[in-house]
């Protein structure tokens, strides 16, 4: 999760390096989805719950800051899984509203980006 967050919030050469590392990690996860609807197979399981950060938060973070760590072109299975994840009723009922989360993430991302810029 830290690598994905850094991929979305760092700048310059560090962002390129961390983005590459994040893509490798996402590729490993995507490999586990081949032939499956969820990580557990046909039903939602423990690994799906653990990877909720990717299924929900990464999409909101990317929208907030215009990043592209998780794209349908590169990770079609993960993106399909994320859509299935969002459409599970139990998930919809227990995640924060995306518009409120988006506003929060925009503020946090700006603070973090400014911090990294000041260190460059």
Domains of the chain: 2-119 (1.20.1050.10)
pTM: 0.75
* pLDDT per position as a tens digit, 44-74: 889 988 888 787 777 787 788 777 778 889 9
Sequence-separated contacts (24+) of 106-114 with Cβ below 8 Å:
106/64, 106/65, 109/8, 109/9, 109/61, 109/64, 109/65, 112/9, 113/9, 113/11, 113/65
Kindly list the averaged pLDDT for each block of 10 residues, start to end, along the chain of length 120: 72 82 90 92 88 79 77 91 87 84 87 79
Q: CA 101, 104, 107, 113 torsion: positive or negative? A: negative
Residue 57 DSSP symbol: I
Q: What CA–CA distance (Å, rounded) separates 88 from 98?
A: 15
């Amino acid at each position: 999760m830290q690598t994905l967050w850094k991929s979305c919030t760092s700048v310059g050469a560090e962002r390129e390096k961390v983005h590459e590392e994040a893509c490798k990690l996402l590729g490993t996860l995507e490999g586990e989805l081949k032939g499956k609807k969820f990580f557990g197979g046909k039903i939602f399981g423990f690994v799906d719950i653990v990877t909720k950060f990717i299924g929900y938060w990464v999409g909101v973070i990317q929208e907030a800051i215009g990043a592209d760590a998780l794209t349908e072109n590169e990770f079609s299975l993960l993106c399909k899984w994320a859509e299935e994840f969002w459409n599970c009723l139990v998930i919809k009922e227990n995640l924060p509203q995306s518009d409120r989360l988006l506003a929060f993430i925009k503020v946090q991302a700006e603070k973090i980006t400014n911090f990294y810029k000041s260190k460059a």
